[in-house]
């Protein structure tokens, strides 16, 4: 019987290790592909504006080095610390969003104040804060499920506060992203169906109000409905994106052979980089890129399902939700499926802040997978000390340490439990 347990747990530990390796490999490869595509999309404009065709590539390559450091750092942090620091993380995220409204620190571009000037470099606080909210919600909901009105109310106040600050930038795309990811977190945290329906009413009322409160948003809606009605202004970017995707056909025009990057398609290296991918690699290449994202999402969900605690499971769910929603929104924009909005493609679009925080998030997923593997080892050790030959693993799991395995600090408690039995 013990040999069977060894084989079962050993296989589970090996699977956790494979999950980590696959996730790291696919994310790094996707990011390297992103740097190559950024050179293709930005080289002409970079040469024209700065005299260096590799200007954006150099910045993104440096950001990737920093991102790898942050990913490694995230794998070294005990996830229990996030639970203890949930309130400082939330408050810090909100303060970071508020600081950009200080004239000396906040940078305004394209009519929006979304960047923070730190002297040698700039960061986009909303990219950081959205994950700060995910950490807070995961930690809070793991101890105070959303089926209670008090817990739900506290979570909604945190979500509303962050969405309000992001909307003031203004940045409706990130607001939508944060709102949708938070809703998934609340559902995962036990929110009742009736509360979800009640919450949907003010959201459905607020969305059209927010859209029609700003003239530029109305113009974007009209450009989405009929971009050819204003082809040189609001409809220009979407039309150029259509041209890029249509030019790609089935197999594309070839790497570095895009025509739309020659000042035709605005923001080709950031929000609309998928259009360049579709142009150069065609429908087949674009589909393969989407399959890579689907694989990352699959790995993340698998880690969430195997997590050792409710907190880690919710945290993994939140990270996967951000990656999934942001990817889908970006693809929907460049294909004209929803009105235009500025949202980078994770791991691929140019942007140091985005790349660093997404790598940090991947580091958290790796740590969760690692903890899952350690839990399996602890279960094996526990089985050696407690399992009589006549009892099954199910019976033991059902009695002695089931509550320990399901608790948020189970690993520490299991080790203490084993020490007492020794």
What are the pLDDT digits (tens) for 305-323? 999 899 999 999 999 999 9
- Can you spell out the DSSP letters for 345-373? PTTTSS-HHHHHHHHHHHHHHHHHHHHHH
Q: What's the pLDDT score for residue 399?
A: 41
Q: How far, in Å, are 72, 76, 356, 362 from residue 69 at the CA level?
A: 5, 11, 9, 12
User: Is 289:26 a contact under the CB 8 Å cutoff?
Assistant: no
- Residue 235, φ and ψ in degrees, nearest 5: -85, -5
What are the pLDDT digits (tens) for 240-250? 999 999 999 99
| Regions of the chain short of the pLDDT cut 70 | 1-14, 373-422
d(CA 422, CA 381): 11
d(CA 35, CA 52): 15
Sheet holding 122-123, edge to edge: 106-109, 112-117, 122-123
Q: What's the pLDDT score for residue 382?
A: 53
Q: Looking at the DSSP assignment, which residues form a beta bridge with residue 115?
A: 107
Q: How far, in Å, are 53, 88, 185, 322 from residue 416 at the CA level?
A: 59, 29, 32, 36
Question: What is the rounded end-to-end Cα distance, in angstroms, of the chain?
Answer: 20
Strands 106-109 and 122-123: unpaired
- Can you spell out the DSSP letters for 234-292? TTHHHHHHHHHHHHHTTT-S-TT--STTTTTSTTTTTTTHHHHHHHHHHHHHHHHHHHH
Give the CA angle between residues 142, 85, 311 to the nearest 5°: 20
Domain total in the chain: 1
Q: What's the pLDDT score for residue 379?
A: 52
Helix (H) or strand (E) holding 124: none
d(CA 268, CA 386): 61
d(CA 416, CA 230): 69
User: Global pTM?
Assistant: 0.86
**Structural domain harbouring 369:** 2-421
């Amino acid at each position: 019987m013990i040999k069977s347990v060894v084989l079962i747990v050993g296989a589970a530990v090996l699977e956790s290790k494979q999950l980590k390796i696959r996730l790291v490999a696919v994310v790094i490869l996707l990011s390297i592909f992103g740097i190559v595509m950024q050179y293709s999309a930005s080289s002409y404009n970079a040469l024209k504006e700065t005299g260096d065709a590799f200007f954006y590539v150099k910045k993104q390559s440096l950001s990737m080095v920093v991102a790898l450091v942050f990913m490694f750092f995230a794998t070294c942090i005990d996830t229990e610390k996030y639970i203890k620091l949930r309130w400082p993380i939330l408050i810090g995220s909100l303060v970071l969003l508020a600081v950009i409204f200080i004239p000396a620190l906040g940078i305004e571009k394209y009519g929006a104040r979304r960047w923070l000037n730190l002297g040698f470099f700039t960061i986009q606080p909303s990219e950081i804060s959205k994950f700060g909210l995910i950490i807070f919600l995961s930690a809070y909901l793991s101890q105070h499920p959303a089926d209670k009105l008090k817990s739900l109310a506290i979570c909604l106040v945190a979500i509303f506060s962050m969405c309000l600050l992001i909307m003031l930038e203004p940045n409706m795309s990130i607001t939508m992203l944060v709102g949708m990811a938070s809703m998934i977190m609340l559902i995962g945290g036990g929110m009742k169906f009736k509360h979800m329906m009640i919450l949907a009413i003010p959201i459905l009322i607020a969305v059209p109000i927010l859209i029609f409160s700003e003239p530029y948003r109305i113009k974007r809606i009209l450009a989405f409905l009929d971009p050819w009605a204003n082809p040189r202004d609001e409809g220009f970017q979407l039309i150029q994106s259509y041209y890029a995707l249509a030019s790609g056909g089935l197999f594309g025009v070839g790497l570095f052979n895009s025509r739309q990057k020659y000042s035709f398609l605005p923001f080709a290296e950031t929000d609309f980089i998928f259009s360049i991918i579709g142009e150069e690699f065609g429908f087949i290449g674009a589909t393969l890129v989407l399959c890579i994202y689907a694989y990352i999402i699959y790995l993340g969900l698998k880690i969430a399902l195997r997590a050792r605690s409710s907190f880690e499971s919710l945290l993994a769910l939140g990270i996967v939700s951000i990656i999934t929603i942001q990817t889908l929104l970006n693809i929907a924009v460049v294909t004209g499926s929803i009105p235009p909005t500025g949202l980078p493609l994770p791991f691929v679009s140019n942007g140091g802040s985005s790349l660093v925080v997404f790598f940090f998030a991947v580091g958290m997923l790796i740590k969760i997978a690692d903890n899952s593997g350690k839990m399996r080892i602890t279960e094996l050790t526990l089985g050696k000390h407690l399992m009589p030959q006549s009892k099954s693993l199910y019976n033991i799991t059902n009695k002695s340490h089931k509550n320990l395995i399901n608790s948020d600090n189970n690993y520490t408690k299991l080790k203490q439990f084993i020490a007492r039995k020794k």
